[in-house]
A and B are shown apart, each in its own frame.
Chain A
Amino acid sequence: MKRYAKTHEWIEVEDSKGKVGITDFAQKELGDIVFVELPEVGDEVTKGESFGTIESVKAASDLYAPASGKVVEVNTAVVDEPQLVNEDPEGKGWMIVIELSDPSELDDLMTEEEYRESIKEE
C-alpha cells in the first residue's frame, strides 16, 4: 500500500519494509534537482524528522521520514543522477527503504486520494 505525507514524501509498504521517495508535485515545485543527500544503510530514521536533503537550483529542502525505522537500502542512482527524481519521482527516483519499527505510524498518513485533494488546495 502507498501512503503520502503532508511534506510530499510517499511511502510504499510491503511486509515490514517501506520504500520512500518524493511526489511528482514536490519535484515540480523544486525544479531541476541538482543534488540529493541520503543516509547510509544502517542509519536510524524517525518519523517526521529529516533523513536527508534535496537541492534544486532555486531551493533546498529537507526530506522527512514518513515512518521510523532502520535504513536497509539506499538508491545511490539518485545521488549520481539527481535528474532521476525529476524524471520518475515515484519509480526510479526512489530514495531509501526503511525497515519499519512501528507500522502503526502509517495510520495517520494520507491515501492517494487524500493527497491529491490536499495538493489541489496548495
Chain B
Amino acid sequence: MSEKLIYELSKRGKIGIDVPALDVPDVDIEKIIPSNIIRKSDVRLPEVSEVDVVRHFTALSRINYGVDSGFYPLGSCTMKYNPKVNEDIARMDDLVELHPYQEEEDVQGSLSLLWEARKYLLEVTGMDEMTFQPAAGAHGELTGTLIARKYFEVKGEKRSTIVVPDSAHGTNPASAAMAGFKVVEVKSDRDGCVDIEELKKVVNEDVAMLMLTNPNTLGLFELHIEEMAEIIHSVGGLLYYDGANLNAIMGVSRPGDMHFDIVHLNLHKTFSTPHGGGGPGGGAICVKDFLKDYLPSPVLSEANGNYYWNYDVPHTIGRIRAFYGQYNVVLKALAYIKRMGGKGLKEASELAVLNANYLKEKLKEYYELPYDRVCKHEFVLSGEKHKKEYGVSTLDIAKMLLDYGVHPPTIYFPLIVHEAIMIEPNETETKETLDRFIDIMKEIDEISKREPERVKNAPYNTPVRRLDNVKAAREPVLKWEG
C-alpha cells in the first residue's frame, strides 16, 4: 500500500488555515498591475484541511528512518545523535526573530554567539580566520577553490590545476571545476594513502591547490601528510582540508598544525546538527592568516566588545550567497560544543575511533578488509568476495540490512575499492548497538552463502521494496500531474 500524495487528498472547499479579516480597504488589483501580469487562474495547489495535513505528514514520518530510529553507520556522513536541547535553543524567539538587515546594535547577542562559535572552531581546527557563509560542505569547497583562484590572480600567477586523490569525494573535483580549474587525480598506494611518488609527478607550478581529507575517505590517516604539505608548498601551492572526517581527530590533531591553509567544516556532521533529510547543512571555511583578505565579505569582526560585519575585505572573492550564512545551524553547533567542552570533543573523537576499530576487527572475519591497519572513525570493507563467490553484491547486502531495521553503510564509495562498504559507527552509539550490527552482518554473510537469492531480492519488510531506478530515469516523472 503506497502512501497518498497531498494532491490526492485534495478536495474543493477545504483549507488548512484561516486568514484574518482585511483591516484596510479592498483594492482592485487591475488598477495597479497590468492585466496580462495578473494571475488568471489559481495556482494548482492542494485544498486540504489542517487534519489532512497533520495525518499526511505524520504518516510520511512513519515511513522514514532517522538517527532517532536506529543505527545509521553511513561512512563519511557522521550520523551522530542530534541533541534535543540544541533544537530548543534554536527555537528561542529572541534568537530566531531577527531580520538580517536589522541594525547591528540590535543583534549583539546573536553576533556574540557567532563570535563564540568562531573562536571554538578556530581552536579545534588550528586556523586563524573564518566565515560561516557557506551553506554546506560542498559550498565551502567552492569557496575554497574560488579563494585559491583569486589568491593566484592577485599574485599574478597563472595556475590552472587542482590535484585531488583518487579516493576524493565527488564534491572535491566538482568544486574545482566550478572555479575554473582542471582536475588531476593522484593515485593511492597499497596502504590506502596518497602515493607520494605519484604526487611528486603531478605537482608542479601549474598546480594551485592540493585537496585532501585526513583521515582520508578510507578512514586511514595520511601517514605522509608532512611530506605532502612540503610538496605542494614547495611549488607555492595551497593545501586544502576537506573537513568531512574531522570527527576522527578533534582535540587529538588539528588541520592547521598539519600545514593546511584552507579548511572547510561540516557542522551537520562533526558538530551534531541534524541532517534534515538532506539539509540544511552548515559549511564554514577557516583559513590561515595570509588568506583572510580573500574570504567572502562580510567577515564577522569585533572591536571593544562590539561585534560588527566588516565589509572591508581587500581581495574578497565576493559573496557565495545572500545574507550571512546558516545562522540557526551554527547556533546548534555552538550548543553542542559548549555542552561537550574541550575535553568532551576529544573524547568524542576517541570513542568514534574506538567504535570503528572494534567493528572493523569483528567484521573482517566475515567480509573482505582491503586495508588491514588501524583505522580512524570509519573503515571500508569490500563486498567483492561475496560478489564473486555467491553473486551477492554490496547493493544486495545493503538492501538486506534494511529488513533488520538498520540503515546501510555508505556503498560504492570511495571509488578505489570495488563493491565498497564504508562504515562509520560514530561515538554516540552503544556497544549493544555495535554488537547487534556485528551479529546482523554475520547473519547476512551466512545467508549469502546458503541462500543468495534471498539477499538479492531484499528488502521484504520495508514500506516499498526495490525500486526501478531505470524507469525513473528513462521516463522521468518529477511532479504530480494528477
| Distance A32 CA – B470 CA, assembled complex (angstroms) | 7
Interface residue B469 (Cβ < 8 Å from any Cβ of A): yes
Contacts of B470 in A (CB 8 A): 32, 34, 57
Contacts of A55 in B (CB 8 A): 473
- Chain B positions 449 through 478: 1 when the CB is less than 8 Å from some CB of chain A, otherwise 0: 000000000000000000001100110000
Chain A count of residues within 8 A CB distance of the other chain? 8
Least distance between B368 CB and chain A CB atoms (Å): 21
Closest B residue by C-beta to A83: B474
Least distance between A39 CB and chain B CB atoms (Å): 21
| Distance A34 CA – B469 CA, assembled complex (angstroms) | 10
| Distance A56 CA – B469 CA, assembled complex (angstroms) | 10
Contacts of A82 in B (CB 8 A): 474
Least distance between B174 CB and chain A CB atoms (Å): 13
Least distance between A79 CB and chain B CB atoms (Å): 12
Least distance between B398 CB and chain A CB atoms (Å): 14
Interface residue A115 (Cβ < 8 Å from any Cβ of B): no
Tell me what chain B mostly uses at the interface: helix, strand, loop, or mixed.
Answer: helix
| Distance A26 CA – B257 CA, assembled complex (angstroms) | 46
Closest A residue by C-beta to B475: A34
Contacts of A34 in B (CB 8 A): 470, 473-474
Contacts of B473 in A (CB 8 A): 34-35, 55-57
Interface size class of B (residues with CB under 8 A): under 10
| Distance A34 CA – B475 CA, assembled complex (angstroms) | 8
Closest B residue by C-beta to A82: B474
Closest A residue by C-beta to B470: A32
Least distance between A120 CB and chain B CB atoms (Å): 18
Least distance between A21 CB and chain B CB atoms (Å): 19
Contacts of A83 in B (CB 8 A): 474
| Distance A82 CA – B474 CA, assembled complex (angstroms) | 8
Contacts of A32 in B (CB 8 A): 470, 474
- Chain A positions 1 through 44: 1 when the CB is less than 8 Å from some CB of chain B, otherwise 0: 00000000000000000000000000000001011000000000
| Distance A4 CA – B469 CA, assembled complex (angstroms) | 31
Least distance between B411 CB and chain A CB atoms (Å): 11
Contacts of B469 in A (CB 8 A): 57
| Distance A34 CA – B472 CA, assembled complex (angstroms) | 9
Q: Which of A39-82 contact B (CB under 8 A)?
A: 55-57, 82
Closest B residue by C-beta to A31: B470
| Distance A57 CA – B470 CA, assembled complex (angstroms) | 6
Q: Which of A71-112 contact B (CB under 8 A)?
A: 82-83
Contacts of A57 in B (CB 8 A): 469-470, 473
| Distance A84 CA – B340 CA, assembled complex (angstroms) | 58
| Distance A83 CA – B474 CA, assembled complex (angstroms) | 9
| Distance A35 CA – B474 CA, assembled complex (angstroms) | 7
Least distance between A37 CB and chain B CB atoms (Å): 13
Contacts of A56 in B (CB 8 A): 473
Contacts of A35 in B (CB 8 A): 473-474
Least distance between B223 CB and chain A CB atoms (Å): 31
| Distance A73 CA – B474 CA, assembled complex (angstroms) | 24
Contacts of B474 in A (CB 8 A): 32, 34-35, 82-83
Closest B residue by C-beta to A57: B469
Least distance between B467 CB and chain A CB atoms (Å): 11
Least distance between B475 CB and chain A CB atoms (Å): 9
| Distance A83 CA – B471 CA, assembled complex (angstroms) | 11
| Distance A55 CA – B476 CA, assembled complex (angstroms) | 13
| Distance A11 CA – B474 CA, assembled complex (angstroms) | 26
Most buried by B among A32, A55, A56: A32
| Distance A30 CA – B306 CA, assembled complex (angstroms) | 58
Least distance between A36 CB and chain B CB atoms (Å): 11
| Distance A85 CA – B469 CA, assembled complex (angstroms) | 17
Least distance between B420 CB and chain A CB atoms (Å): 13
| Distance A55 CA – B470 CA, assembled complex (angstroms) | 11
Closest B residue by C-beta to A81: B474
| Distance A69 CA – B243 CA, assembled complex (angstroms) | 47
| Distance A34 CA – B471 CA, assembled complex (angstroms) | 8
| Distance A82 CA – B475 CA, assembled complex (angstroms) | 11
- Chain B positions 71 through 109: 1 when the CB is less than 8 Å from some CB of chain A, otherwise 0: 000000000000000000000000000000000000000
| Distance A32 CA – B473 CA, assembled complex (angstroms) | 10
Least distance between B312 CB and chain A CB atoms (Å): 43
Closest B residue by C-beta to A34: B473
Q: A34-B474, A55-B473 are in contact. List 12 more A-B contacts (CB 8 A).
A: A32-B470, A32-B474, A34-B470, A34-B473, A35-B473, A35-B474, A56-B473, A57-B469, A57-B470, A57-B473, A82-B474, A83-B474
Instruction: List 7 tightest A-B contacts by C-beta distance, closest first.
Output: A34-B473, A32-B470, A57-B469, A34-B474, A57-B473, A57-B470, A34-B470
- Residues of B whose CB lies within 8 Å of any CB of A are 469-470, 473-474
- Residues of A whose CB lies within 8 Å of any CB of B are 32, 34-35, 55-57, 82-83
The 14 listed contacts between A and B (C-beta, < 8 Å) are: A32-B470, A32-B474, A34-B470, A34-B473, A34-B474, A35-B473, A35-B474, A55-B473, A56-B473, A57-B469, A57-B470, A57-B473, A82-B474, A83-B474
